Structure 1
Amino acid sequence: MPPKLRVLSQNARHEKRMQSEIQSSLASALKNNPQIEPKEALWSITTEMLTNNPFQPPKDGKCPINDLPDEILGYIFSVGVNQEIEDEMNDYDSEDDGDFEEEEEDGDENGEEDVSSAPANSSTAPFDSDMDSDASSDSDMFDDDEDIRVPFQVLVSHVCKRWRAVALDAHILWTSLDFVARPNLEKARTYISRSKGLPLSISIDCTFPEHLDEKDHPDHPLYSKDRKEARAVAHTAGCGDPHCLGEDMDEDNHEDEEELYFLSQQDLSSILDLIEPEVAHWGSLEFRATTYGYVQLLLSRLHKLPAAPVLESLQMFHFEDCDDYDKFMGADKTAFLPFHGNAPLLKDVVFWGVHIDWDAAVPNFLNGLRDLELSFHAKDVRPSYATFEKVIKLSPDLHTLTLSLSGPQLPPDVEFDADREEGGWGATPLTIPSLHEFAIQFHDVAYASALVQHLDLPAVTGLLLNFDEEDYSDFVRALLRPVKGRAESLLQHIDHLKIAGLPCSVACADLFLDQLANLKSLNIKLVGDEEDVLFEKLVDPTRTVPWHVRAGGGAEVAPAAAAAGFKLPAVFCAKLDTLTTNEADGARVQELVAARQAAGAPLARVFMSNMDRVTAKEERWLRANLAELEFFEPSDSEDEVEVYDEDGDEWETDDDAELDADVAEDEDDDEDGDEPPLISPLARHLGRGARRRGRMDVD
């Protein structure tokens, strides 16, 4: 059975334009030929409009795409697969659960293949197991109402015999293995077979929703006990839900009604049983888990594997919330070494709340890296400074370094530049000459200050800062000072800066912005009053209070930096030409753009969160005064986007948040201002790893 066509969203502006054209053409046809019937005229008009419709078959029965050689057709298929993967990664970044259900492929016995779905919770569901012939259709065994998402490579392999042959011969199409929610192992086996030894991209998602616990999975030993106890409590409380009354329902039927959306540790073991024999063909491995038991299981299995000779990317994420990072809170903090330390091509490494045997990882495992991220490690499972230094020095082409509540160990009450024997890092800074992007997040003030005073980063041009709760003025002062042996500070080389949180004094804000003389691109999230003041100072350097205070009539205070002998410039960051904002409304951005135009330091491009309040009038002004204006969906946004009319009154939410900018520009001249503003999402994420708990990339 072919998949049902579903309208995901409706573009109101396109619909309005189409109806307008039809009505205009109909009126003209009736005027020119009064004898014609309205129905006949309408049929003639719509037929003419559909003449060049690409969704209509050619009149001569010949499709131009059939003239393409197989190599070009296969390349087109690969582009479609890559685009689908990119879209899914962007979707994952903007959703909390990130569940993408896998569907199955089938064909009919005549070779004109059909697409159908198999139960997603069945690891032995039929899946086109005969790769050299067409599989039989199992459409009748599935619920007609079940939503279907067919992978692109599966879809094109079921169009016709030729496309199927090309798709099956294009082995690159079958190299992505995604295990999430309810895995289909038979599908994975088929993909592996079709990949013909090409490097595999493997993604395993063992996270589960916040309202569920690991014990909510039937595979868990305590599942039945906990469910019986919960039902007994509900029955005693008289909740009134018939599903809670155990004596009125069969236990099996009750359990069948609950859908599961996460992998169990037993599922993970089955997945590893399948993919471990292919370790010689692993090109990348991305793993996510909510609890550390899954991580421990994976690491213990990777520890036993002999080698991963073509592995280039290893990303492991553990998302369990933790309030105390002084000591590792897991039941077992055994440190493992994946692949016996044998992964000679490894370039991209992320350990998010996951620790390994750091000392054993050098010199053979963690070396030659290009991108390194260490995040959310308890202090007692972080690498020693000596090991961290070795990793850095053994990676002469290291391009990006992210340290989020992690990094080399530094004992409490020990100065960072103290001798190694005392637990310090030594008086000589650690130089990383190849590094271009540096992200530092969530550390306490003392540790963050130590890092930026000890790391010598002469080539860094991209910087991400993300801090909260404390006063980070001392950290900012550390940034302002050149590293030992340098004449200029790190800030003076930065041309791209992202601030997701930087609480500091007004005086520090003045000095901070003053050193960013070469800044060209700023990405700022207005999460608090301090970030608000930074934004205000880009409008007017003399401003010293948050926007809401100024808007409410609050008075400015004397700038402390000026009182100390610092002279405020006419404009901060004179070279700034690109601004990305989050939680800044259209009126404030309009004021900023106008002020910098007047100051002779105009902005060329602005990217705003589509969650920000922007009226149609403000958007038209911004488009008229900027070379580029785009709207993007922030990684922590909700599914719905609020838009507003020119008076600031809320319109209905727009689910897809996507109306084309070119239509708006065409219609600006005849707009009467009563339409909601245009929303054009901008995909500005790198699509690498996770963006949870504040993870952001430097780009």
Structure 2
Amino acid sequence: MKRATYQAAVSRLPIELLSYIFILGAHTPDANAVEADDPGTRDARIGPEEISPCVSSSSTPPDVFAAVNKHWRAVAVGTPQLWCRVCVTIGDLMENASNGWCPMVSRYIARSGKCPLDVYIDARDPEWDFSEEDLIGAVVSPNIDETYDYTHPFKVEHMHHLLNKLLPHITRIRSLAILTDRWAPMQTALECLSFRDPTFVSIPNPAPSYHPRFSPAGQHEPAYLPFSGLFSPSPLTSPDEERPLLPRLRQLILSGVHVDWSSLPLLLPSSRASPNSGLKRLELSYHSAEVRPTEDELRGILQDCASLRALTVRVSGPQTVASPTPWSPVSSFPPVSLPYLRTLELGYYDEATAAMLAMIDCSEVEHVAIENSYPMRDGSQDAEPLLLACAKVSSLASPRYGQPTFPRARTVTLRRVDASAEAFEVFYDALPCIQKLTVAQMFLLGGEGLSNRNVNLNFIPPDSPTSPSEGYEWEQGLAQWNEKWAALGEIYGDSKFMLS
């Protein structure tokens, strides 16, 4: 007789319910914690969870759930909220000494996704002797022929290592508690956290690029620039010999870093042999006005990138152009042909972006992204000249003077773009092949240009507040956003809507 296998009831639970049970088990408040409705006792001492939500004697580490079986592991790993409490103690350091410094921290950060983090670092040693320095061979007493050795297990290097892992995610940290015995590790933590913008580890500071003068002054000359050694003449090569200095270069990102623009084509590989050769991606972003490429220099660079697939220009490019009205039909030079260009991202800061757009033939572009790169979060620059340049019209009332700039664009992303509804409508009318429109941190204007068209509309709400003082205004704005989005389906019933 064949024995029937019995399946426990917990194994038949839906994944969503099992995930929620895991969260309750991992984030259970301490039963012995002081209750909020007992003010007399609450004032007498501070509960552990008031120091950090990570401190709870009744919670279960998520690694325990992930170790039960294959199904539980898949559910636990797929629940980001389960891994949002990062707790490091002396015991963790000593236990994982042979496996590197705290691999658990990297694991929790990776599995937590984008959830807010609660971080608790307890660098206290129960056997600490109240000394500020390690004691090796110390004399216990003049009358006792013995020496005393003590080395604190938590070093300054440990704090450096932990914060190097945490600082790239500083914007996600909801609470941070650091407890140390000695001053040196705490001083290290304070120094690392004293930067105005700790996210410098992974995000460059674009603020200097909005200043017209390069800083530090005097160091924008060619002698200080990247690749300057490659540009120096070699006695082994002829001056007339044209040979790319970086023949295998496929991707070049110059963000906040400028080069000798006139010599840059010497670096780039030739794309004349085949479409598979040459540079594939180029990004120029965040350059001060003093060090941006001129129109001739940018043309020379793009002409050597005929096989370019993706181009990003953000707060860069020439400040002046030959034509006084960059969106007029008259141009001094023909646009640079980029037949393989499929992705174009523009971060506009002034009208020079519209002028630069007239320099490029974007007829094969399939994805377009336009964002407001104004330095102030609440500030903006009127994008109407740029939208009109994309539509090839000189004014809202004038007829189109040529083929639209993006006749084959299928996906378009707009982020914080500020313009009139009429300008947006003209822009949408100039996108005959559009299939998907993503609107980020802004309202949809000019939607009449999308009516009766099968376009997927994807809305990304405003960013969460970066400080508690912004929380109330952000919640009000998000509520208005949700009301606006709910009404869009009734206004543009023939379009498809999606909120992410």
TM-score (norm 1): 0.38
- Which residue matches 2:359? 454
Amino acid at match of 2:215: M
Counterpart pick for 1:381 among 279, 291, 294: 291
**Structure 2 equivalent of residue 667 of structure 1:** none
| Counterpart Cα distance in 2 of 1:513 and 1:369 | 31
- Alignment match, 2:487: 591
Distance 1:328 1:204, change over 3 A: farther
- Determine the structure 2 residue equivalent to 1:344: 247
2:261 to 358, 362, 366: 358
Separation (CA, whole Å) in 1 of partners of 2:421 and 2:487: 21
Would you say 1:432 and 2:338 are equivalent positions?
yes
The reply to whether residue 370 of structure 1 matches residue 287 of structure 2 is: no
Give the structure 2 partner of residue 516 of structure 1.
431
* Shift in CA distance, 471/320, structure 1 to aligned 2, threshold 3 Å: closer
- Contact persistence 2:365–2:408 (CA under 8 A): yes
Superposition map of 1:3-402 within 5 A: 13-14=17-18, 53-54=69-70, 117-118=96-97, 137=98, 148-149=104-105, 182=160, 253-260=182-189, 290=200, 318-322=204-208, 324-331=210-217, 332-333=219-220, 334-337=224-227, 340=230, 342-365=245-268, 368-402=278-312
Any stretches of 5+ residues in structure 1 without a counterpart?
Answer: 1-10, 19-51, 58-79, 107-114, 119-136, 153-179, 185-202, 211-242, 244-251, 264-287, 292-315, 419-423, 542-568, 609-699
Partner of residue 581 from structure 1, selected from 457, 460, 471: 460
**In proportion to residue count, which structure has more strand?**
2
CA contact (8 A) 2:254 2:283 kept: yes
Distance 1:489 1:56, change over 3 A: closer
1:321–1:17 Cα change, 3 Å: closer
Distance 1:317 1:425 in 2: 38
> In 2, Cα distance between the equivalents of 1:354 and 1:591?
45
The structural deviation recorded for 1:411 is 6.8
Asked if the contact 1:516/1:573 (under 8 Å) is kept, the reply is no
Contact 2:451 2:492 in 1 (8 A): no
Give, in angstroms, the shift of residue 574 of structure 1: 0.6
Cα contact 2:210–2:289 (8 A) shared by 1: no
Q: How big is each residue's C-alpha offset from its partner over 1:367-411, in whole Å with a ceiling of 9 and x where there is no partner?
A: 621111111101221223333223222222211111101024537
Q: Distance in 2 between matches of 1:474 and 1:56?
A: 56
Deviation (angstroms), 1:429: 1.7
* Cα distance, 1:504 vs structure 2: 1.8
Give identity over the alignment, percent.
15
C-alpha displacement of 1:362: 1.9
How many equivalent residue pairs?
Answer: 318
CA distance 1:182–1:372, change in 2 (3 Å): farther
Q: Aligned pair in 2 of structure 1 residues 181, 428: CA closer, same or farther (>3 Å)?
A: farther
**Contact map agreement 1:353 1:377 (CA 8 A) in 2:** yes
Task: Name the CA shift for 1:478/1:592 in 2 (closer, same or farther; >3 Å).
Answer: same
- Aligned CA distance change for structure 1 residues 581 and 205 (closer, same or farther; 3 Å): closer
Partner of 1:471: 382
- Say if 1:439 and 1:463, in contact at 8 Å, map to a contact too: yes
Distance 2:412 2:322 in 1: 30
What does residue 494 of structure 1 align with?
409
When the two chains are superposed, the root-mean-square deviation of aligned CA atoms in Å is: 5.3
SS in 1 for 2:370: strand
Q: Which residue identity is paired with 1:354? A: V
Is 1:182–1:262's contact at 8 Å kept on the other side of the alignment? no
How has the CA–CA distance of structure 1 residues 322 and 574 changed in structure 2, closer, same or farther, with 3 Å as cutoff?
A: same
Letter matched to residue 593 of structure 1: G
Question: Given the superposition, is the C-alpha separation of residues 149 and 457 from structure 1 closer, same or farther in structure 2, using an over 3 Å criterion?
Answer: same
Residues 317, 384 of structure 1: CA spacing in aligned structure 2 closer, same or farther, 3 A cutoff?
Answer: farther
- Uncovered stretches (5+) of structure 2, i.e. residues with no partner: 1-14, 23-67, 109-157, 172-178, 193-197, 232-244, 271-277, 375-379, 395-399, 463-477
What residue identity is the alignment partner of 1:396?
A
Q: 1:456 to 1:586 in 2, by over 3 A?
A: same
One-letter code aligned to 1:471: D
Partner deviation per Cα, 1:493-527 (whole Å, 9 max, x = no partner) = 32211111222223223322322332111111243
SS of corresponding position for 1:490:
coil
Distance 1:150 1:489, change over 3 A: closer
